[in-house]
Amino acid sequence: MSTVFISIFAFVLAIGILVAVHEYGHYLIARLIGVKVLRFSIGFGRPIWLRRWGKDQTEYCISAIPLGGYVKLLDEREGNVDPGDLPRAFNQQSIPKRIAVLVAGPLMNFVFAVVAYWAMFVIGVPGLAPIIGEVTAGSIAANAGLSEGSRIVRVGEHPVLTWEGAILAILDSMLAEG
């Protein structure tokens, strides 16, 4: 039962990270071009955590339903806008600037994916150790002396650290023998 909760937690965490990266793309470009950001929210519904910060008193919140998020921008189509803030309203920006704000979220997800894959490539992902799980009686493996829990350390003269390495070494030796 605990693995179900761990899986749910991992899913919510992964979605939360992806949503935060996506929404941060919209937020960052909006701020850079001078649009007033009213709220940056991860999740929908009632806020669980809310803080106002910065010269514009932008609301940063984490909400109850963690399956999305949004960045609320100042926009006179949403209600009355103070005349002093009118130049900072989203709908008052040029079309290229509005497009930049809209495209920034998906673009930030793409950049995040590239960085994440690059990090996995540089750091590496550990492979599974080549440890025998089960040996059928009378099989070639049993006749070779392998037993449950045996670790494959080399195939022929090729040392192996992972199952992938073991399989490649076996294929290599099979091809070499013809």
Catalytically annotated residues: 23
How buried is 136 (Cβ within 10 angstroms: 0-12 exposed, 13-18 middle, 19+ buried)? exposed
Contacts 24+ apart (CB under 8 A), 117-125: none
Amino acid sitting at position 80: N
First to last CA, the chain: 50
Q: Is 159 helix (H, G, I), strand (E, B) or coil?
A: strand
The token pair that represents 158 in the structure block? 């090729």
